[in-house]
Chains A and B, each alone.
Chain A
């Protein structure tokens, strides 16, 4: 293996690559069959693994959500028992956050960062392999717990103590170990991203010449490195409280259950930005491409992203306004949270300014990007409403919150992932996707996702708490519509699966640069991207050309 890899960067390769920045496919040296995927250290292979894994998890988490929606279709308990209902909501949350959204972004990072930086691979390829391959085990433990005597974790993905400790159903160990492994995977992935960006940029690519996509992943990776160990800490405390008799979160032993929430949300709030900053990066790539106009306010975008990241460490307790914080604490966290609206607003204004007086066309990536800007902004508005402490007392732990974070995570993060996937599918597969099918995917998703999540605002305002398996009669009408939207949205995602499979198998040949407005070094290599790209760095002119465009 080692000699093989070393030989790959032989002088012959470099000479070939000097001209075009890509290798001919003859020097791939990849293994065949399952071994290729198990042993691979190639950033493109690992990116592909991450993306497929994330999509499988999206369908898994979606299936759990559809059982939830089926139970909530009408009042009364029809399909599942309350305890199993709690297991469904808990595992749905964990699978979507740690299994779908985060690995999907890591998949994008793996595929795109080296190609955007003009680097031959990620800086730490073997760790890269490991950080992916422990993930399936983490989720095997988590999902396997459904089949254990205790059942799956049932205390919410936020695992508040003492529900997750003293009063847990016995699944805390499975939960704890699964989350520990996910955390290790994330930390390794983040270290790899930081090291790659700091050390592997092509000569001449200064920080302020990096694509905004790279910037957002750079900042996100730092957030991950700071907060994932905090998550690991709180999970360990939960484990020792449950199994080794400590009392971190037990008042009877001198602990404090609210301290759990402080530690958890110190991780949890930056985690929210970990799932949205890379989305900003993708949207900042697609909107200029299909507006045929340079991104408005590049440097202000960099500063806005950094501000959001820094502020994310000062707002965690806005998840905890009802825990009985002192007035001063409530005011501090309310003001800081409201402040986040400023840099977030700057980003949205910049995207609109990018579109303004551009030359717009509406290919599927652009459709998803426009939907992202509008629907993410709606999620931002409800976020601002939630920031106001006095009103948060009414919104907190209701369906209004459920609506808010699904607008941000589904029509925000997930839609940006679709925009990015359609944008780079030609580069990944060498084929254009089926345009008609992709438009079906977009329009079905757009309509159903709003039918699914918009009425949740009304449900929350009318007083429906979240995480309940049954509800009072006045909530019946909206819940029916929400469930119908949920099934439709879930099924619509199968169209995407069809599009991807068709695109891998064949279709119109993609040009090296299929989008006339696209910029970036990834478009200077062939489509599909050769197994090894940029074995020799791109020229200064190439780099500057991408930046000046």
Chain B
């Protein structure tokens, strides 16, 4: 009895768990025609399996209850029947065909990437997504925006986690409703996988190859997903956020982006002729370092050798300035060190190089300005 009570207690506490009400149990229906077809297919197979399960397990439990030795059951001596064997081979085949037909239809629809209205190239890299709008000259990186304090709990910090903890980014992908949006998916380093459950899209990002996927979303809204292929240390920290806007709002957003790009270009130009103080450089450098470099080289500058070398006392961070700027701009082939030339502004690169050359006891005293960075990048 004691054991049964315990089990009952556990079941009751599972059922009545306070936060249970908003726990999702089933696959999402999503917001596209394809995702709804996928959901229907999922339910179809689930129901067929449930019915088969009830039948088979029902027969088995009938046996368990009524054909017990302790009840005096005598074993029958039948042990084969070609008729029955043919029957239970044929019935599953019929059921499988019934499932394969809608599956084939949905799959053919999913793989029809033609006649798209908008094309966006998605590039995964460790551990962020890059979005590039074709014919718009708009491109940007999208990185996790959940603050580090929220997930680094080792130090017993009790920072409250946001509602969208680990599912929020600085700059989401923006697409219009009711337009066929085609995604060209690839990677800069290892294999990633771009997954948004509400669109029923999961497509691997393979380095050196381009995969296609498409969607046509009905309702404006914010839809979240995550990288779905193990891509190294921070695989769990590269979410995807897609904002779907009405075509009018989308056009407004496009215009805003164009303006921002123009402003950024002006600021870049302006930074070339100005020089920053050490305090300014170190401050911006630390912010930039924390956001872009510390995942691998760590806040302490000690890195995670051998994959991610230390910067404290390293040959590059204490060697010639030119080599240091060069590796930040161009990365190092065959390692996890990415090219940051496209990801950071001249000012940020100048600041982060200054920071790395003066933090953690790397007291080189060097100050690097935007113009120095431009000089190195201009050489290529």
Contact = CB atoms under 8 A, between A and B. Distances in A.
B27 to A, nearest CB: 5
Nearest to B23: A477
Interface string B261-292: 00000000000000000000000000000000
A429 B103 CA distance: 53
Given A86-B233, A469-B236, A385 B64 contact: no
A385 B46 contact: yes
A361 B72 CA distance: 11
B260 to A, nearest CB: 29
A45 interface: no
B150 interface: yes
A473 B100 contact: no
Interface in A56-99: 75-79, 82-83, 86
Interface in B1-49: 3, 7, 10, 14, 17, 19-20, 22-28, 34, 37-38, 41-42, 45-46, 49
B151 interface: yes
Nearest to B59: A352
B228 interface: yes
Contacts of B236: 82, 465, 467-471
B207 A162 contact: yes
Question: Interface residues of B: mostly helix, strand, loop or mixed?
Answer: mixed
Contacts, number: 303
Nearest to B201: A393
A243 interface: no
A76 B207 contact: no
Given A170-B306, A293-B77, A355 B226 contact: no
Contacts of A389: 103, 107
A470 B209 contact: no
Given A162-B190, A355-B67, A334 B103 contact: yes
B165 interface: yes
A358 interface: yes
Nearest to B306: A170
Question: Interface residues of A: mostly helix, strand, loop or mixed?
Answer: helix
Interface string A429-473: 000000000000001000100010000001001110101111111
Interface string B59-99: 11001100111100111111111001100110011001001
Nearest to A254: B208
A341 B230 contact: no
Contact of A474 (B24, B126, B228): B24
B233 A83 contact: yes
Nearest to B46: A385
A359 B73 contact: yes
A324 B38 contact: no
A330 B84 CA distance: 33
Interface in B209-268: 209, 211-212, 225-237
Contacts of A393: 38, 110, 200-202
Nearest to B165: A473
A394 B202 contact: yes
Interface stretch (B191-199, B318-326, B352-360, B372-380): B191-199
Interface stretch (A47-55, A118-126, A149-157): A149-157
Interface residues of B, number: 108
Contact of B88 (A154, A324, A346, A458): A346
A461 B26 contact: yes
Contact of A257 (B93, B107, B207): B207
B336 A150 contact: no
B307 interface: yes
A477 B19 contact: yes
Contacts of A258: 206, 209
Q: Which one of B25, B200, B236, B304 has the greatest number of beta carbons of chain A within 10 Å?
A: B236
Q: Which one of A163, A359, A390 has the greatest number of beta carbons of chain B within 10 Å?
A: A390
A330 B211 contact: no
Given A77-B152, A360-B68, 7 more contacts: A77-B154, A82-B234, A160-B190, A167-B335, A297-B81, A346-B89, A394-B202
21 contacts: A76-B152, A76-B161, A77-B151, A77-B154, A83-B304, A170-B307, A300-B80, A322-B193, A322-B228, A327-B107, A342-B93, A349-B56, A349-B88, A381-B53, A390-B37, A390-B200, A394-B197, A465-B236, A472-B167, A477-B23, A478-B23
Please give me the 4 A-B residue pairs with the lowest Cβ-Cβ distance, nearest first. Answer: A251-B208, A468-B236, A324-B211, A76-B153
